[in-house]
Structure 1
Amino acid sequence: MRTPLRPLARVLQARNQGADPAFIERENLEKRHEQIRERSAPRASARLGLLALAFGCAYMTIGIRMGHLAASEPAEPVSSAPGAEIVAQRADITDRNGRLLATNMSTSALYAHPHDMVDPRASAQKLAKIFPELDAAMLERRFTDGRRFMWVRKILSPEQMQAVHEIGDPGLLFGPREMRLYPNGSLAAHILGGYSFGAEGVHSAEVIGTAGIEKAMDARLRDPARAGEPLQLSIDLTVQAAVEEVLGAGITMLNARGGAAIVMDVRTGEIIALASAPTFDPNDRPVPLVGKDDEPSDSPLFNRAVQGVYELGSAFKIFAAAQAMELGLVSPDTMVDANAPMVWGKHKIKEFEGKNYGPLLSVRQVIEKSSNVGTAHIALMIGPLRQQAFLKSMGFFEPTSVELIEAPGAKPLIPKRWPEIVTITTSYGHGMSASPMHLAAAYAAIANGGIYLKPTLIRQEGRASGVRVMSERVARDSVAMLRGVVTTGTASLAEVPGYEVGGKTGTADKPKKSGGYYKDKVINTFASVFPASDPRYVVLVTLDEPSDNSGPRPKRTAGWTSVPVTAEVIRRIAPLLGIRPKVEPRAGFALTAAAN
């Protein structure tokens, strides 16, 4: 009910007595306001308490955050966008037996907050003494140009970190860093490639591959779900070491500019060893050559086994013989015209040093003596179209699929037109160029019974599947011809007792940029298979500009250069591969009965 503003009885009484009724009204209002204040006081006190508590909590939060920032290391801003987190962990790489080829190591990076530095000039001078590659004047200029953050050194050794600590400048700070370590130094350098840093922060850095299998398999190696699962390669570390040692010694002894060697399992397509020289240490990867006169092959980074695209010479001749046998045009004993020189239009096909092996040679003898003319006549029986189709089936028209980032760029150089003269020159390895890896894979197809397998650096389980390019009979006859090249032909220095080596030499004059060929510069190759009775491995050695100067005249053919190097490789690695030598009884050895 509504309370009247004026008490009526008192107002009427005041009027009767002649008093002012407004006084009674003010007194009544004051009493009512006092009652309202008494009822509202507890609610107001509660509200003030809650407000004070909220201010207190906010103040404490700000104070704690400020204390945390004051006690932590300064850091550059990091994006908080989705997917911006740096993943530094990278899977290990091992050889086929689990031996470590690449792993991760914890270290530290050095960065600076110049605005926090006490004495930039003195710090710059001391840092230049610790890191000789840094320039003190440049450091001082960067410390004083107004920037708030800069990297000084991405990777520190423990000794260098301690030396920087002793400088004592608060503006020099350290951040944890994970780096890639190759514990075997330069061993298998062209396979592994190397690494660098991608996205970087003061607390971590993204390790990415820059070359070789590190870059080709980068996504697999950086997959967080497989970080604890090593990438197992097909190479055998002990075989790789032996191959690199022999190749390096051969290059030195034969005065070559460089070389490459490949060992391949013919049953699986696995690369057991792959070497290129000169080489480098992936822990300290050199800078690529950028001069306008620099040749790619001048750099130790150049992988001659995969990137080197060369005319491979007479090592191609076995393909012409194999295809002709596959087509039923010839057999190993078929006689072909080998009368040199051979005139074809305006071209004259000659033998090495003007020899003439004619008038006739069997196909087997054509391969053993490495007759250009005999091979040319076999190729003409085949014809251009069929020759192209066969070489394409052997992988010579596309880059190899081996798991190296450099492989897709090494596309064979194929003639734009393919007249009969190209058919002739291609049959003995001139006119088209391919890499040693192409040649090794093609020889593996002959050695394993006629099935072309894609070469791989990833360990395989069991025998791989491929494409049949020739019959088993033709493959077997071809291997027998390759064995004859060693026993009676141009590769006699390849004989390794007990291991039945077969192979084919290839000596190709190096082409000039201006056209034509050098007379005293060659690319020599020897592609071999062993044991010839049951081929297991292909061993291929290529040398760039070798020259045996031990005699009165330089010897530059493959028979004097690549062949003995290959023989030494086989002699060294065959026991490592578990192949037992086949002991042949000496002539005339027999038991003789004797009577008492």
Structure 2
Amino acid sequence: MMRTPLRPLARILHARQQGENPDTIERENLRLRHEVMRDKSRARAEFRLLILGVAFFAAFTTIGARMGLLAATDPVEPRASAPGAEIIAQRADIVDRNGRILATNMTTHALYANPKVMVDPKGVAQKLADIFPDLKAKDLERRFTDGRSFLWIKKVLSPEQMQKVHEIGDPGLLFGPREMRLYPNGTLAAHVLGGTSFGAEGVHSAEVIGVAGIEKALDTRLRDPAQGDKPLTLSLDLSVQATIEEVLYAGMTMLNAKGAAAILMDVRTGEIVALTSLPTFDPNDRPNPLVDKTAEPGDSPLFNRAVQGVYELGSTFKIFAVSQAMELGLVTPDTLVDANAPMQWGKHQIKEFEGKNYGPLLSVTDVIAKSSNVGTAHIALMIGPLRQQAFLKSLGFFEPTPVELIEAPGAKPLIPKKWPEIVTITTSYGHGMSASPLHLAAAYAAIGNGGVMIKPTLLKREGPTTGVRVMSEKTAHEAVKMLRRVVTEGTASLGEVPGYEVAGKTGTADKPKRTGGYYHDKVVNTFASVFPASNPQYVLIVTLDEPIDTSGSEPRRTAGWTAVPVAAEIIRRVAPMMGLRPKLEPVATDAVTAASN
């Protein structure tokens, strides 16, 4: 920096010529220099004060804004953070075909503890044990004092329990909000819904995942954030489902059955309107699976008999042999076939129920009405093994049902490894081959809708449904007429429901032993029906495990005395609920009719 000289030579010489004192020039220049330095210092100080003022203003503004934000928000517990993806807690609702809730979400709280900030670990442990009887005070106290800083106590709390924990007042007890799955109808449609559990868990949220039923089969759809506000609509009708469960439970109890199953399905769309398996469970408090390896799967209430239950379905299969024979042009409803019993085939003897003999000849229609094993066997031999297998495969009996349940893929029918003619005979009347009631429902739906195989579904369908034709409309129509004869004149006479023209077939099958052979006093009874016979709209399957009717002088175990009356009561109650108007029988012209003014 250039400085002005205090004693400029030119001014000094000039001052001396004028007789002035040169020292005054130096003093004046020194004063001016000091003034400049003072002005620069003042400017520098003022700038520093400005910067400091701005910094203080920004700091106090930030603090004030933060305090205002905290004052305007609700206080929450500190959130534990961890690396990884954020937990998605939202799960779509499940509703029935009319929009009524079957499964939804409910906000609740989890209870956890930070033992390091507890005031009285021993006292807290005892008070928590008083609130939660399943917790032990000594175990809690041990965990509170072992040095850990985090401990789950309860994953789900009721509002009452949460209030009681609040009243303990210890700072080491903390709450984390989360969603849980709620099934407001309790046990209703439990085997369809299945249930949920917690997956990934955090302090403030928990991942709800499906563990069984449709909750697990469609877990990805239900957890999709893009469809979280769009409920999953099932084909079930809540009112019909409740009615069928009520009637089936009463029938199972009265007939001393070990278990029961029922399926009601629309024959044209494949929509399952109701699916029931008993005994049942509450998905809100799902029981643990059986650990006893010697127990049968059906001993667990979690076992879905309608889908997982693979049984020999007895004489309900006879209509398939007759339908195929008519489709191939081998017989007509009036064709007479050999029904002379017993029938000898090699070393095997084919008998009728209770040693009866319906022979020597029966029409094909009477073979179904009287449920003749021998007559069906002769018809099956006309068809032959290869064609029989192909037809049963087209009806879905060789693969698991494609219904939207996680249990369905594992319920594969039990097919004989070899298929000689004796297997053709026994399979024709439902022995030696096992399938589920849902398999049977799908096959009977094909007969009821005019010969088209429709895939069963638990989802509500919109618009027309297509399928594969397995028989002609004429064959299907004749088969329904034969099934109607079973109810009006045959083994299912207790299945008649005035106004609804029930058509169906009974099936009584001895239960196989694990060690081989069959029980003589344990049966699985089935009644497969379609209604109304003049224009079939629904198929109903009722299966009872080990039923026995003790209302008479002798115990009765056949389907005609057990499964049939239960199915009739179901149809009597649910048909009006589904909008089916009863077909009134015409009144004779000469009948007397009461009238009033």
TM-score normalized with structure 1 length: 0.89
Q: Is the 8 A contact 2:265 2:539 kept in 1?
A: yes
Bigger mean CA deviation after superposition, 582-591 or 158-167: 582-591
2:180 and 2:208 in contact (8 A); partners too: yes
Instruction: Supply the distance in 1 between the matched residues of 2:423 and 2:372 (Cα, whole angstroms).
Output: 17
CA distance in 1, matches of 2:109, 2:505: 53
Q: Tell me, yes or no, if structure 1 residue 469 matches structure 2 residue 470.
A: yes
1:428 aligns with 2:429: yes
1:79 and 2:82 aligned: yes
Aligned-partner Cα distance in 1 for 2:295–2:51: 78
Greater Cα shift, 545-554 or 325-334: 545-554
**Where do 5+ consecutive residues of structure 1 fail to align?**
10-31
What CA deviation, in whole Å up to 9, does each residue of 1:479-503 have, x standing for no partner?
A: 0000011111111100111111110
Name the residue aligned to 1:513. Answer: 514
Residues 497 and 571, structure 2, Cα contact 8 Å, conserved in 1: yes
Q: Give 2:352's aligned residue.
A: 351
Equivalent pair of 1:493/1:567 in contact (CA under 8 Å): yes
SS of the equivalent of 2:349 reads: strand
User: What CA deviation, in whole Å up to 9, does each residue of 1:431-486 have, x standing for no partner?
Assistant: 11110000001000000000010001111123311110000000000000000111
Q: Summarize the Cα distance change of 1:143–1:72 in structure 2 as closer, same or farther, 3 Å threshold.
A: farther
Give distance in 2, aligned partners of 1:321 and 1:171.
74
Per-residue CA shift, 1:296-340, capped at 9, x if unaligned? 211111110011111111100100000011111111111111111
> In the alignment, is residue 293 of structure 1 matched against residue 262 of structure 2?
no
Aligned match of 1:544: 545
8 Å contact kept, 1:336–1:374: yes
Quick one: which amino acid aligns to residue 526 of structure 1? Answer: F
Q: Distance in 2 between matches of 1:199 and 1:75?
A: 19
User: Which residue matches 1:139?
Assistant: 140
The CA distance in 1 between the partners of 2:78 and 2:101, in whole Å, is: 35
Provide the C-alpha distance between the structure 1 equivalents of 2:117 and 2:66, rounded to a whole number of angstroms: 21
The amino acid that maps onto 2:197 is S
Corresponding residue number in structure 2 for 1:503: 504
Summarize the alignment of residues 74-153 of structure 1 with structure 2, pairs less than 5 Å apart.
74-75=77-78, 77-81=80-84, 84-153=85-154
| AA partner of residue 461 (structure 1) | E
**One-letter code aligned to 2:409:** P
Asked if 1 retains the 8 angstrom alpha-carbon contact of 2:494 and 2:565, the reply is yes
Q: Which residue of 2 aligns with 1:385?
A: 386
TM-score norm. by structure 2 comes to 0.89
CA distances 1:81-126 after superposition (whole Å, capped 9, x unpaired) = 4xx1122121111111111111111121111111111111111111
Cα contact 2:77–2:175 (8 A) shared by 1? no
- Tell whether the 8 Å contact from 1:524 to 1:562 is kept in structure 2 after alignment: yes
Instruction: Tell me, yes or no, if the aligned pair for 2:79 and 2:204 is still in contact at 8 Å.
Output: no
Query: After the TM superposition, which of the residue ranges 226-235 and 558-567 deviates more from structure 2?
Result: 226-235
1:505 partner amino acid? T
In 2, Cα distance between equivalents of 1:58 and 1:421: 95
Q: Is the 2:280–2:301 contact (alpha carbons within 8 Å) kept by the matching residues of 1?
A: yes
**Which residue identity lines up with residue 78 of structure 1 in the other structure?**
S
Give the SS at the match of 2:583: coil
SS of alignment partner, residue 463 of structure 2: coil
- Structure 1, 182-191 or 533-542: larger mean CA deviation: 182-191
Q: Distance in 1 between matches of 2:589 and 2:422?
A: 51
Residue in 1 that maps onto 2:368 = 367
Would the aligned equivalents of 2:115 and 2:144 in 1 still touch at CA under 8 Å? yes
Give the 5 Å matches for 1:317-332: 317-332=318-333
- Distance in 2 of aligned mates of 1:470 and 1:340: 30
Q: Once structures 1 and 2 are overlaid, which stretch shifts more, 288-297 or 258-267? A: 288-297
Name the CA distance, whole Å, in 1 between partners of 2:51 and 2:480: 95
Q: What runs of 5+ residues in structure 2 fail to find an aligned partner? A: 10-32
**Residue of structure 2 in register with 1:556 after alignment:** 557
Q: Secondary structure at the match of 1:560?
A: coil
Query: Does the C-alpha gap of structure 1 residues 40 and 175 become closer, same or farther in structure 2, counting only changes over 3 Å?
Result: same
Amino acid at match of 2:325: A
Cα–Cα, structure 1 residues 119 and 357, in superposed 2: closer, same or farther, change >3 Å? same
**Is contact 2:80-2:203 (8 Å) kept?**
no
Q: Corresponding residue for 1:407?
A: 408
Corresponding position of 1:24: none
Deviation (angstroms), 1:40? 9.6
Q: Does the 8 Å CA contact 2:104/2:181 hold for their aligned counterparts? A: yes
Cα 1:325/1:145, change in 2 over 3 Å: same
How far apart, CA to CA, are the structure 1 residues paired with 2:403 and 2:535?
Answer: 25
* Cα distance, 1:39 vs structure 2: 7.5
CA contact (8 A) 1:440 1:527 kept: yes
1:290 partner amino acid: V
CA distance in 1, matches of 2:437, 2:574: 19
Amino acid at match of 2:555: P
Q: 1:43 to 1:254 in 2, by over 3 A?
A: same
- Report the secondary structure of 1:475's partner residue: helix
Higher mean C-alpha displacement, 455-464 vs 312-321: 455-464
Structure 1 SS opposite 2:242: helix
Question: Corresponding residue for 2:216?
Answer: 215
